[in-house]
Structure 1
Amino acid sequence: MKFLRNLLASILGFFISIFILFFLFVGIASLIGKEDAVVVKPNSVLELDLTTSIKDYAPKESNPLGEVLGVENPSLSLEAILNAIDNAQLDEKIKGISIQTNFINAGIAQTQAIRKKLIDFKESGKFIYAYNDNYTQKNYYLSSVADSLFLNPVGQIDFKGLTSEVLYYKDFEDKYGVKMEVIRHGKYKSAVEPYLDNKMSEANREQISSFLNSIWSEYTKEISTARNISVAELNTIADNSDGRNATLALNNKLIDASIYEDQYLDKLDNATNSKSKTISIADYIKSGKGRISSTAKDKIAVIYAQGQIIYGEGNQEIIGQGIINKAIKKAVKDKNVKAIVLRVNSPGGSALASELIWRELELAKKEKTLVVSMGNLAASGGYYIACNADIIVAEPTTITGSIGVFGAIPNAYELSKKIGINAEQVATNNSANYSLFEPMDKKFYDVTKEGVEQIYTTFVNRVAKGRNMTFEKVDAIAQGRVWTGKEALENGLVDELGSLDDAINAAAQLAELKSYKIRNYPNYEVDYKNMFKFSPFMSVNKDDILKEALGDETFKLFKQINEFKNLEGIQTRLPYIMEIK
């Protein structure tokens, strides 16, 4: 008995110690938070540094010790950035904005939304200046909104037009005997084209050229207005790389002066009529300026669906029907929520998960107004979950459409022959089975093709019903074809061009709301297991290690291959992995 009593006392003491230690760390975190409280000082300049990863939705780190121990993965919420710029417009302590960022860690549509908000900021009469040692093309696009734009005397502007590169693996497959067996519907559904050929099809070249030109026209139109340079002149500058040094950039009116950083800081002092103080956008958000306060009782729920779509629960990086459908149900159940805005930023993914989310939205639409806002991507499965909204709002540079279906299955038959492996199967029935080490037989192909065709037909019917179009009309603009938001407006796939704010305003109008506040979803559950990972060495991010070892470009390729490796079931997904430069 004494032994058991001592054992129980030891166990109890262990758990008490753990809880005391936990609350001690929370207390320390709280004290540090109070000491480091951000204060906005008079005559401040808001510094727009966008090198941190920008997500549509970036809820606060679930581990309360993450920031203290330096093990959190920092990111900025697009919503918080836009709210902060709005607040800065009315903040007497903020005299202007300085855009000074090495690069912009955001998509094109996100960048366009920030740029529009900066145009609104200028209406306050406050200044916007921009400075950099070198400008990437996206950085220059954003910075061109400034009243005055400056470049280091030995810097350059990478202004050369847009390009997109697609890698083809057919020759590699033939050489090494490992290939992807592909079943698809849609002549533009080129997600799997790199596995079938060693060069780009004319259909794929047509769609890439179309949306690149659409995005570039947005770039040049907006830069033309801001810098008072004609679109024709901008294209000549791009053709000749006439931003490649500061002298050419100045001569071609891309900048207002070539100066050093210390001279730029002097200009900020002159603009504020005092020794200016800068506050980063991240700190300004921490000060509480990343929110728009409201005392309204009515709410509009903004549900963020960001990342590829998988069948399962999902998380902050991946859309799963589990977490998204829970969010939809919570918004519907809340009597104060009068409208739902679904913010989609996804290349698509699992057809099954897309259908399950579509169904939950269809049920929600019977109870609440439903509006969709499209971010950088709302393609394939991303469009599937958007198509039944009352109104669809896209940015002009959003990549959307891609209404098509494919299945891709790895096959190593030729490789197995080369290295002397023979696979033999025994089965009870003559069903449509598949082996990695045998050629795909016709029976399995036919069954899978039937599934692809069934899902394509369902997909097109969903769009036809949601968009009030005939099956034939949707089919004509589907076939896996990718469109920009601007093109999608012309062919009826979206209703309006605009930002998340515009989508929220549209929802408010449909729900007849005069005043409201925003409620963001999903609620991500706290992982209590990770809350006790006090050591930074226990929370090492494997992606960071791989990136360090492989380099940025190789790491991107690794991530792309890894994503395709993890695809399960028939996919409604963007036609290819795309990086626009």
Structure 2
Amino acid sequence: MNFLRNLLAAILGFFISLFLIFILFVGIASLAGKQEPIVVKPNSILELDLSSAIKDYAPDEKNPILEALELDETRLALNKIFNALDNAQLDDNIKGISLNSTLVNAGFAQTQALRKKLEEFKESGKFIYAYNDVYTQKNYYLSSVADSIFLNPVGQIDFTGLSSEILYYKDFEDKYGVKMEVIRHGKYKSAVEPYLENKMSDANREQTTSFLKSIWSEITSEIAKSRNITEREVNNIADESKGRNAELAQANKLIDYSIYQDEYDEKLKKAANGKYSTISLQDYIKSGKGRKTSLAKDKIAVIYAQGQIMYGEGNEEIIGQGLINKAIKKAVKDKNVKAIVLRVNSPGGSALASDLIWRELELAKKEKPLVVSMGNLAASGGYYIACNANLIVAEPTTITGSIGVFGAIPNAYELSKRMGINAEQVSTNESAQYSVFEPMNKKFYDVTKEGVEQIYKTFVNRVAEGRKMTFEQVDAVAQGRVWSGKEAISKGLVDELGGLDHAINAAAQLAELKSDYKIKNYPNYKTDIKEMLKFSPFGKVDKNEILREALGDENYRLFNQINELKNLKGIQARMPYILEIK
């Protein structure tokens, strides 16, 4: 009896302890929520540090425990940054902007959109200064919008032109006996090329060179205009690495002065006409400047589709037909929503999920105007869900197109044979079966190839119908080929060049909205109790957060890209290879 009594007492004590710990966390969270509000002081300079991950859409963190312990992921939402910069133009307390980011953690289309927004800020008459010890290429591109650019006397500017590197695995597969069985349509559909070849194909080199040059021409043009030099001079600077030290950078007009941080602070003091305060972009947004208020009844719904497309519910990182289609239906049902803007930032993914989203958008378009805004990527499945819009708007540096499909299945037959493993199968029927331990048979190949061809034809027909083109016209610019937003205009895949604001204004015009209107963002991401407790002593540890911390952002991104391959189920309408432009 004593043993049983002691056991029950221990169990009861354990649960009481858990309850008390939970109450403690709630109390800490409650205290965190009662922090003093952030106030923008007079004569302030807004400091822009863009080294945190920038997403098109990042809802407010709703996990009070993580917030209280400062374990919530630092991130910036592009829409909130834009709102903050718009508000800063009219804010009498903000005298100017200081760009002092070590890097710009965004894609080129996002960076170009940010640069345009900063140009708008300058129209208010307020200054923008930029300072850094070392400028990365993307950071310099953004910073070149500044009135004056400053560099540490022993610093440098990494300005050498764009490049993209792809790893090829064919020899590795032959050596170790593990390979990917690939079935594809499209001579440019190079998502699977690294598994089939040991070097880049001529077709892939052609398309990669083409869109890199297109993006680079945008960068050089804008830098040349801001720095008052010619595009030829900008290219010569890149060819000869003339930003490799401060002296060369100043001589070639990449910067205005090479000074130390304390001297830069004096420059800011002079620009602000005396003693000044600083406020970070993050705090400025938290102060309420990251949103716009309106009393208007009419709304435009902006639905954010960001991440790879996978069949299922989806979340903030992954586009699933579940969440996106719910958002579309909510926007259609809301009588105050007069138009829909779909913001796409995706390399594509599941063909099935893409088609399900396409169908819901097709139904929505019958009720309300539909405009697509393309971010960094709107390729393959990302283009599939965009193609039926009334209007498609892309940034010149957007990567789009890639109208093609493929299927890829791992095969370890050679490896198993070398290891002395033999797999035997028993089946009730003669259907097209596949085993990872046997070579792909002709029947399975033929059935899968038929599926790939069917989805390709469906994809092209969807585009032809949405873009009012013939099948042959779409097929001529399809075949899995990737285009920049600027190139896509002449190919009929995009209607206009511009950012999200441009797309929203176009949607308002299509809806004939002449007065003020609100922006309603979708989807709504809900944090459940398990997610809230993931860092608590009695919650499950999030292995991805541990890996990110251990590997660092760059290595974690590579790990995650490789890890994603195992989740590719079904035929894919996906971006050709994992594109990293440097």
* Global fold match (TM > 0.5): yes
Distance across 1 between alignment mates of 2:525 and 2:556: 28
Cα distance in 1 for residues equivalent to 2:377 and 2:473:
23
Residue 553 of structure 1 and its aligned partner are, at CA, apart by: 4.9
Instruction: Label 1:12 to 1:335 Cα distance change in 2 as closer, same or farther (>3 A).
Output: farther
Q: Are 1:296 and 1:516, in contact at CA under 8 Å, matched by a contact in 2?
A: yes
SS in 2 for 1:65: helix
What's the CA shift for 1:73?
Answer: 1.5
Distance 2:224 2:442 in 1: 56
Which ranges of structure 2 fall in alignment gaps of 5 or more residues?
Answer: 1-9
2:5 matched to which residue of 1? none
Q: What secondary structure sits across from 2:34 in the alignment? A: helix
Q: Deviations over 1:479-525 (max 9, x none)?
A: 00000100011111011000000000000000011211000000112
Q: Aligned residue for 1:420?
A: 420
Report if aligned partners of 1:214, 1:397 keep a CA contact under 8 Å in 2: yes
Alignment partners' CA distance in 1, 2:242 and 2:346: 35
Maintained 8 Å contact 2:403/2:478: yes
Q: Tell me how far 1:60 sits from its aligned partner.
A: 1.1
Instruction: Render the CA deviation track for 1:337-387: whole Å, top value 9, x for unaligned.
Output: 111100000000000000000000000111111000000000000000000
The aligned amino acid for 1:396 is P
Question: Is residue 69–residue 536 contact of structure 1 (8 Å, CA) maintained in 2?
Answer: no
Equivalent residue number for residue 91 of structure 1 = 91
- Name 2:229's counterpart in structure 1: 229
Distance 1:536 1:229, change over 3 A: farther
* RMSD (Å), alpha carbons: 2.1
Instruction: Tell me, yes or no, if structure 1 residue 29 matches structure 2 residue 29.
Output: yes
What amino acid maps onto 1:561 in structure 2? I
* 1:478-517 pair list within 5 angstroms: 478-513=478-513, 514-517=515-518
CA distance in 1 between counterparts of 2:257 and 2:537 reads: 45
Could you give the per-residue CA deviations for residues 21-60 of structure 1, whole angstroms, max 9, x where no partner exists?
Answer: 7676445434433324211000100000001111001001
- Per-residue CA deviations over 1:311-349 (Å, capped at 9, x if unaligned) read 000000000000100000111111111111000000000
**Quick check: 482-491 or 544-553, which moved more?**
544-553
Amino acid at match of 1:267: K
Any idea what the Cα deviations from partners look like across 1:86-131, whole Å, max 9, x if unmatched? 0000000000000000001111111111100000000000000000
| Aligned equivalent of 2:557 | 556
Once the two structures are superposed, the pairs formed by residues 276-291 of structure 1 within 5 Å of their partners are: 276-291=276-291
Cα deviation, 1:444-494, whole Å, max 9, x if unaligned, reads 000000000000000000000000000000000000000010001111101
1:271 counterpart residue number: 271
Distance 2:147 2:231 in 1: 19
Higher mean C-alpha deviation, range 416-425 or range 554-563:
554-563
Matches within 5 A, 1:421-570: 421-513=421-513, 514-533=515-534, 535=536, 538=539, 540-550=541-551, 553-570=554-571
Q: Distance in 1 between matches of 2:511 and 2:60?
A: 30
- Cα distance between partner residues in 1 of 2:473 and 2:573: 19
Q: Deviations over 1:420-460 (max 9, x none)?
A: 10000000001100000000000000000000000000000
What's 1:220 paired with? Answer: 220
Mind listing any 5+ residue stretches in structure 1 that lack a counterpart?
1-9
Shift of 1:12: 12
Q: Counterpart in 2 of 1:198? A: 198
Cα deviation for residue 19 of structure 1 reads 8.0
Where does residue 354 of structure 1 map in the other structure? 354
Q: CA deviation at 1:552?
A: 5.2
Shift of residue 70, structure 1, vs aligned partner: 2.2
**Alignment correspondent of 2:365:** 365
Superposed displacement of residue 292, structure 1 = 1.1
Report how far residue 410 of structure 1 moved: 0.3
Cα drift, residue 64 of structure 1: 2.3
Letter in 2 for 1:530: E
Change over 3 Å in CA distance of 1:542–1:452 after alignment to 2: same
Give SS of 2:406's match: strand
CA contact (8 A) 1:70 1:536 kept: no
Q: Name the structure 2 match of 1:246.
A: 246
Return 371-380 or 271-280, whichever deviates more: 271-280
Cα offset, 1:545, TM superposition:
3.2
**1:331 partner amino acid:** A
SS at match of 2:426: coil
User: 1:575 aligns to what?
Assistant: 576
| 1:356-395 equivalence runs, <5 A | 356-395=356-395
- TM-score, normalising length from structure 2? 0.95
What is the identity, as a one-letter code, of the residue corresponding to 1:346? S
Alignment match, 1:3: none
Offset, 1:204: 0.1
**Within 2, Cα distance between the matches of 1:71 and 1:351?**
36
Cα separation, 1, equivalents of 2:373 and 2:417: 51
Matched, 1:316 2:316: yes
Q: Give the number of equivalent residue pairs.
A: 575
Query: Cα gap change, 1:533/1:402 in structure 2, threshold over 3 Å: closer, same or farther?
Result: closer
Q: Distance in 1 between matches of 2:368 and 2:553?
A: 44
Deviation (angstroms), 1:276: 1.5
8 A contact 1:307–1:347 mirrored in 2: yes
User: Matches of 1:121 and 1:548 in 2, distance apart?
Assistant: 36
More displaced, 166-175 or 532-541? 532-541
* Structure 1 equivalent of residue 4 of structure 2: none
The structure-2 alpha-carbon separation of the partners of 1:353 and 1:534, relative to structure 1 and needing over 3 Å to count, comes to closer
Q: Cα distance 1:79–1:364, how it changes in 2: closer, same or farther (>3 A)?
A: same
Give, as a single letter, the amino acid of the residue that structure 2 aligns with 1:362.
Answer: E
- Give the drift of 1:275: 1.6
Conserved in 1, the CA contact under 8 Å of 2:54 and 2:77?
A: yes
CA offset digits 1:1-28 (Å, max 9, x no partner): xxxxxxxxx9999999988876764454
CA deviations over 1:236-282 (Å, ceiling 9, x no partner)? 01000000000000000000000001110111111111222111000
Shift in Å at residue 547 of structure 1? Answer: 4.2
Conservation of the 8 A alpha-carbon contact between 1:63 and 1:527: no
Residues in 1 aligned to 2:557 and 2:323: alpha-carbon distance in whole angstroms:
27
Contact 2:18 2:538 in 1 (8 A): no
1:7-18 mapped onto 2 (5 Å cutoff): none
Greater mean deviation of Cα atoms: 457-466 or 25-34: 25-34
1:294 is aligned to 2:298: no
Instruction: Report deviation, 1:564.
Output: 1.2
For the structure 1 residues 251 and 561, does the alpha-carbon distance in structure 2 shift closer, same or farther, using more than 3 Å as the test? Answer: same
Once the two structures are superposed, what CA deviation does each residue of 1:118-158 show, in whole Å capped at 9, x if it has no partner?
A: 00000000000000000000000000000000000000000
Relative to structure 1, the CA distance from residue 539 to residue 263 in structure 2 (aligned partners, 3 Å threshold; closer, same or farther) is farther
1:403 Cα shift?
A: 0.1
- More moved, 40-49 vs 63-72: 63-72
Q: 1:554 to 1:534 in 2, by over 3 A?
A: closer
Structure 1 residue 66, shift from structure 2 partner: 1.7
- CA distance in 2 between counterparts of 1:537 and 1:34 reads 25
**For 1:35, what is the secondary structure of its paired residue?**
coil
Sequence identity, in percent?
77
Retained in 2: the 8 A contact 1:133–1:156?
yes
Contact 1:71/1:540, CA 8 A, preserved across alignment: no
Q: What is the distance in 1 between the residues matched to 2:323 and 2:138?
A: 33
**Partners of 1:335 and 1:231 in 2: CA distance:** 50
Taking a change above 3 Å as real, the CA distance of residues 19 and 494 of structure 1, as seen in their structure-2 partners, is: farther
CA shift for structure 1 position 68: 0.5
Q: Contact (CA 8 Å) 2:534, 2:541: kept in 1 or not?
A: no
- Specify the alignment match of 2:6 in structure 1: none
Change (3 A) 1:181 1:533: closer
Q: Could you state the TM-score of these two structures normalised by the residue count of structure 1?
A: 0.95
Q: Distance in 2 between matches of 1:361 and 1:41?
A: 45
Please state if 1:102 is matched with 2:107. Answer: no
Give me the whole-angstrom Cα distance separating, in 1, the residues matched to 2:17 and 2:240: 68
Code of the residue aligned with 2:130 in structure 1: it is A
Contact preservation (8 Å) 1:22, 1:532: no
Greater mean alpha carbon deviation, residues 205-214 or residues 532-541? 532-541
8 Å contact 1:69–1:534 — kept in the other structure? Answer: no
Residue identity in the other structure for 1:576: Y
Distance 1:80 1:54 in 2: 10
